[in-house]
């Protein structure tokens, strides 16, 4: 066997999904000698960052997310300029919810308070603006105009190629993290040493944290990513100006239902329930719960008459949920040179460039650009408001 290498780095980032890739990118930009480790061969579909599209939006109940998104939009645009690759397409986001729903009203108030460009729709003008869709009786609707689609797989590739001299090693699973002033990270292929380590391992966060004496209250769920066939091809496409949409809750659903215009599979529209059933990330497909599909079928029959209410394709994705659905962006409570980005709770992709910047700031000891109190580990002893 080859002798085990002992390489010295400023920083090691574990997990090359969207958050780890942007963190490594930012650290390398700050002239830190950075190693990005990934357990699977890249690109892969085993975590939470794969797939062609994600929604990007400023519509959030909490002002701190809306403010972070303002910078995130700028950083996505900067990455587009650097790479010459289109990563964002503006489609608008249609938000719908019961008139009397606190969730919907909070979102509407937040958009108005933060002066996000929006259009309030009425029952009368709804079908002019949104053809081939029905607004449920008793529901209200608005459009977050600057929202749209992020081309997720392209984004991940661009930022991984933009490492500016950092090192990416895939097919290397971390087997041990040994804390100290210099952290030792062992993989199935070698041993690396660094002044600091960032853990952005999605569903595998707690597995990696085991050796550091910390476990976070994270729940891993498997999401059924469902694609629904158009009765007339192109009916719900971007070309027909069909927007992304979020239905905040319905008679059958306590969580959001979200959808994106047909894009990755011609003639198929991605519509998903924003929740799933608990799963072990190493045996993801043992989880076969499909109860969410009944909820989606009900919604499609009532709201999207131009779709066949039977999923044509079902793919999988994992969410790593915190109890309050807010992220974890913090230093390890015992070892300040171990930084943790975790619990992105199914709404973190759009924040990637900002989260990379924040985790990089925590790693090099700069004052973070944002107040990170909603994202601290210490909050888990206390109750906080849930995120959308």
Catalytic residue annotation: 50, 53-54, 270, 274, 317, 350
**Beta pairing partners, 271:** 259
CA distance readout (Å), 23 to 29, 106, 212, 235: 10, 31, 21, 39
Provide DSSP, 192-236. EEEEEEEE--GGGHHHHHGGGT-----EEEEEEEEEEEESSTTTT
CA dihedral 113, 150, 225, 153 (to 10 degrees): -150
At 154 the three-state DSSP class reads: helix
Is the peptide bond between 39 and the residue preceding it cis, with omega within 30 degrees of 0?
no
CB burial of 192-214 (b: ≥16 within 10 Å; e: otherwise) equals bbbbbbbbbbbbbbbebbeebeb
Give the count of beta carbons closer than 10 Å to the beta carbon of residue 186. Answer: 17
**Helix or strand holding residue 80 (H, E):** helix 63-83
* Rounded Cα distance, 201 and 17, in Å: 8
- Residue 258's closest CA among 267, 249, 71, 266? 249
**Helix or strand holding residue 308 (H, E):** strand 307-321
* Rounded Cα distance, 269 and 382, in Å: 40
- Bridge-based pairing of strands 183-187 and 34-37 is unpaired
* Rounded Cα distance, 128 and 109, in Å: 24
Tokens of 173: 């699973």
- The C-alpha R_g of the chain, in whole angstroms, comes to 21
CA distance readout (Å), 355 to 20, 156, 272, 301, 342: 9, 14, 25, 38, 10
**Helix or strand holding residue 22 (H, E):** helix 18-29
């Amino acid at each position: 066997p080859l002798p085990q290498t002992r390489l010295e780095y400023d920083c090691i980032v574990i997990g090359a999904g969207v958050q780890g890739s942007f963190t490594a990118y930012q650290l390398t930009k700050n002239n830190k000698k950075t190693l990005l480790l990934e357990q699977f061969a890249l690109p892969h579909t085993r975590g939470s960052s794969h797939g062609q599209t994600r929604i990007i939006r400023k519509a959030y109940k909490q002002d701190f997310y809306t403010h972070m998104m303002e910078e995130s939009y700028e950083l996505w645009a900067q990455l587009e300029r650097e790479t010459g690759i289109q990563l964002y397409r503006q489609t608008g986001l249609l938000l719908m919810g019961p008139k009397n729903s606190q969730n919907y009203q909070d979102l509407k108030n937040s958009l108005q308070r933060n002066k996000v460009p929006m259009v309030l729709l009425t029952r009368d003008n709804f079908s002019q603006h949104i053809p081939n869709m029905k607004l449920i009786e008793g529901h209200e609707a608005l459009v977050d105009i600057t929202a749209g689609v992020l081309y997720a797989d392209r984004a991940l590739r661009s930022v991984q190629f933009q490492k500016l001299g950092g090192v990416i090693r895939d097919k290397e699973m971390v087997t041990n993290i040994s804390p100290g002033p210099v952290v030792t990270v062992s993989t199935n292929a070698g041993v690396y040493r660094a002044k600091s380590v960032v853990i952005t391992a999605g569903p595998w966060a707690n597995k990696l944290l085991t050796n550091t004496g910390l476990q976070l209250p994270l729940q891993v769920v498997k999401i059924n990513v469902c694609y629904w066939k158009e009765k007339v091809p192109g009916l719900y496409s971007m070309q027909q100006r069909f927007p992304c949409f979020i239905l905040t809750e319905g008679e059958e659903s306590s969580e959001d239902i979200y959808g994106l215009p047909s894009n990755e599979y011609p003639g198929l529209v991605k519509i998903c329930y924003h929740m799933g059933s608990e799963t072990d990330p190493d045996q993801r497909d043992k989880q076969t719960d499909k109860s969410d599909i009944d909820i989606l079928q009900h919604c499609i029959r009532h709201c999207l008459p131009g779709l066949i209410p039977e999923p044509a394709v079902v793919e999988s994705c994992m969410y790593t949920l915190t109890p309050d659905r807010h992220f974890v962006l913090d230093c390890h409570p015992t070892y300040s040179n171990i930084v943790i980005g975790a619990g992105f709770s199914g709404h973190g992709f759009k924040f990637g460039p900002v989260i990379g910047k924040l985790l990089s700031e925590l790693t090099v000891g700069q004052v973070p650009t944002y107040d990170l109190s909603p994202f601290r580990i210490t909050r888990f002893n206390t109750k906080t408001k849930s995120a959308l």
